[in-house]
Chains A and B, each alone.
Chain A
Amino acid sequence: MQANLRVSRYDPEAPEPSARMQDYQIEVPEHFTVLDALIQVREEEDPSLAMRCSCRASICGSCAMRVNGQARLACKTRLSAVAAEGEPVTIEPMGNQRVVKDLVVDLGLFWNKIRAVEPYLQPAGDEPEEEYIASDESMQNLITPMGCIMCGACVSDCTALEVDENFLGPAALAKAYRFVADPRDGASHERLQTLNEYGGVWDCTRCYMCVEVCPVGVAPMDRIMELRDSVMNEVGVTTPGARHVESFARSVARSGWLDETMLAVDSWGRFNIPKLLSQAPLGLRVLVRGKLPLPWPFHHKRAGAEFVGRIFKRWESRKQ
């Protein structure tokens, strides 16, 4: 098949460095991956093309890059699966990280965030004479986060990191989960306190981008949601994020549906007078346009709300 590749090029040593797209047309076998094609370009067309790669088997995590706008492992992506008729396959470096050259990014941000969650066991008490013992069942939910190959694809496409570099990001939070949930770790409470702060679990937008791009099924966002539940149980309902969840549950349990206005008031804090006053202009604009949802106690119950409330009660009693 003919491969039409449009590759992002950036040379930091150029007189005026700036990214540009360069097209390559090469003949490749049908089974080629994006990485195979790039290596062919480098070996036969243009030895100046810079990229990272190593194992070529989705194990080392070196070759993450954006293919047609989405982070992928180049070695795990068949060219034929991403090539559309008449359109070039666009290949760019990962996002949210500084480009060093062509398809190579500086992974400093990625590793700094991983280091920030102290990615090592911190057992409490005296060391056992032999190994630490953990039951099979207690380790089951660690299998997926332990499968992370540190490729950085989730960090590349994280929509929260895109607007705030302070966010720990999906890879580091999935790693944090791996230690919080480890029965041998003795620092879970302290870890959860840290994760409850700005930049931690509550800054995730729940956009599923990391779940979508992770090449090994770690599903970082799902791990972040589990951490949120752990934070609420272990640290308490102390942040707007936690109050948001509690208010949401309260209104659905009571009426069967969401009390949008009360959700806002509860999340900011019912006695957060400056914040509530600051929302008056928006409240007025919405009121004038006839779409301010009336909060509790005017928020009506839906038919069968008592059955919804029963589902909540039974779920809570079982959880306890």
Chain B
Amino acid sequence: MKYAFYPGCVSRGGTPELYTSTMAIAGKLGIELEEIVGASCTGAGVLQEKGLKLGDTLNARTFAMAERLGLTTILNICSTCQGVMAQANQRLLADADYLAEINEELEPEGLEYTGRVVIKHLAWVIVEEVGLDALKALVTNPLPGLKAAPFYGCYILRPSSALGLDQNPGREQYLERIIEACGAEPVNFPGRLKCCGFPILLINERNSMKMVADHTISAKEHGADCMVTPCPLCHLNLDGQQPNAAGRAGRKIGVPILHLPQLIGLAMGFSPKELGMNQHIVSTKAMVEKASVRA
């Protein structure tokens, strides 16, 4: 299965271990990735504050580039990119005149978006196209006893109409299903569908850190050894800012935050180092020992 791969800005910047771990597991899963070279940022909801049409034009450019590669499914590894692209695609497909206006902006680059692109996050591709049975068959190093709390990230869940959750209600449970397929135990906790606080980290740090503390402490109190997220922006806040949040909360937290492909990679037998887990801010050592994976 071949996909137009959109790595997003953050897997090429602040969380390079997401890129590394995605590449590590993709081949084993039979996922062939052709990167959309030259694709721009989706806008991440921020450029959309200046105007939806600006963001939609940038995303239509990326969709047209995927079509030029002869591919119709874009594979994302970021909840935010997934949500922003899905919303842009929904608007573009809903109004032929709007799409034509936007295509005029792409014309100087020789691009045209014809509306054939489907946008899927890696988690969706694994469950809906690779299949959980196929994933289980690739698990050589199951993670029994490891309790993992899923943390989805807003944009892979909401707005549900743009993300096809009405047609695919199971998407709200895919992380749990993948965690189970890896032989680990999913932990249910109140924050799993909430905001990590990253969008306001640079705007209202106090509120952002309260969200990090609330979610990580809650996950820990519900028994989690680690949290798992399909969103690198959530990772930046929950992992990168966890010491800051812990300091403000006046207590130790120490909950490792795994990117989704890292959890899968551990179950497939990759070493933590091969998955870039040595690049985390919060140590993954105790969790790795508990999961009995090779160091």
Chain A interface (Cβ < 8 Å from any Cβ of B): 159-160, 162-164, 167, 198, 202-209, 211-212, 225, 228-229, 232, 239-241, 244-245, 248-249, 252, 256-258, 260, 263-264, 267-268, 282, 285-286, 289-291, 293, 302-305, 307-308, 310-312, 314-315, 319
Any chain A CB within 8 A of the CB of B34? no
Q: A207-B194, A208-B159, A260-B13 are in contact. Are A248 and B46 (CB under 8 A)?
A: yes
A311 with B207, Cβ < 8 A, contacts A208-B154, A267-B202, A286-B240 known: no
Contact A256 B281 (CB under 8 A): no
- B binding-site residues for A, Cβ under 8 Å: 9-10, 12-17, 37-41, 43-51, 53-54, 57-58, 61, 83, 105, 108-109, 154-155, 157-160, 194-195, 197, 199-200, 202-204, 206-207, 210-211, 214, 240-241, 243-244, 278-281
B154 touches A207 (CB 8 A): yes
Listed A/B pairs (24) with beta-carbon separation below 8 Å = A159-B194, A159-B211, A160-B200, A163-B211, A164-B206, A205-B195, A205-B197, A207-B154, A208-B159, A228-B49, A229-B49, A240-B203, A244-B46, A245-B49, A252-B58, A256-B38, A258-B9, A289-B279, A291-B17, A303-B38, A308-B61, A315-B51, A315-B53, A319-B51
In the complex, what distance in Å separates the CA atom of A264 from the CA atom of B202? 6
Q: Which residues of B contact A267 (CB under 8 A)?
A: 202-203
Contacts of A228 in B (CB 8 A): 49
List 17 additional A-B contacts (Cβ < 8 Å) besides A205-B195, A315-B54.
Answer: A159-B194, A159-B211, A163-B197, A203-B204, A206-B199, A207-B154, A207-B199, A211-B159, A244-B202, A245-B46, A249-B47, A252-B41, A258-B41, A290-B279, A303-B37, A305-B40, A310-B108
CB-based nearest B residue for A303: B38
**Given known contacts A160-B207, A207-B195, A291-B15, A256 and B41 CB-to-CB distance under 8 angstroms:** yes
Contact A314 B40 (CB under 8 A): no
Name the CB-closest residue of A to B154: A207
Chain B: which residue is nearest A201 at the CB level? B49
* Residues in chain A near residue B159, CB distance under 8 A: 208, 211-212
Q: Which residues of B contact A208 (CB under 8 A)?
A: 83, 154-155, 157-159
Q: In the complex, which residue of chain B has the Cβ closest to the Cβ of A226?
A: B49
Residues of B within 8 A of A258 (CB): 9-10, 13, 41, 44
On whether the beta carbons of A248 and B158 are closer than 8 Å, the reply is no
**How far apart are the CA atoms of A302 and B9 in the complex, in Å?**
11
Q: Is the CB of B244 within 8 A of A291?
A: no
In the complex, which residues of chain B have a beta carbon less than 8 angstroms from the beta carbon of A314? 105
> A302–B62 Cα gap in the complex (Å)?
13
How far apart sit A166 and B194, CA to CA, in the bound complex (Å)? 19
**Whole-angstrom distance between the Cβ of A246 and the nearest chain B Cβ:** 9
Alpha-carbon distance between A44 and B33 when the two chains are bound, in angstroms: 60
Tell me whether A291 and B14 are in contact (CB under 8 A).
yes
Q: A163-B210, A285-B281, A304-B38 are in contact. Are A205 and B13 (CB under 8 A)?
A: no
Q: Which residues of B contact A229 (CB under 8 A)?
A: 49-51
Q: Which residues of B contact A252 (CB under 8 A)?
A: 40-41, 43, 47, 58
Which residue of A207, A241, A286, A319 contacts B203 across the interface (Cβ within 8 Å)? A241
Q: How far is the CB of B219 from chain A (nearest CB, A)?
A: 16
Q: Which of B12, B16, B17, B206 contacts A257 (CB 8 A)?
A: B12
Nearest-CB distance from A271 to chain B (Å)? 16
B111 to A, closest residue via Cβ:
A307
Query: Which residues from chain B contact A308 at a C-beta distance below 8 Å?
Result: 40, 58, 61
| Contact (Cβ within 8 A) B202 A240 | yes
CB <8 Å contact, A211 and B158? yes
Give chain A nearest CB distance to B50 CB in angstroms.
6
Q: Whole-angstrom distance between the alpha carbons of A304 and B68 in the complex? A: 15
Contact B46 A289 (CB under 8 A): no
Docked CA distance A258–B233 (Å): 13
- Asked whether, in the complex, the Cβ of A268 is within 8 Å of the Cβ of B202, the reply is yes
Contacts of A305 in B (CB 8 A): 38, 40
Bound complex: CA A154 to CA B51 (Å): 23
Tell me which of A163, A207, A245 contacts B214 (CB under 8 A).
Answer: A163
Q: Is the CB of B199 within 8 A of A312?
A: no
Q: Are B61 and A307 in contact (CB under 8 A)?
A: yes
Docked Cα-Cα span, A211 to B195, in Å, equals 14
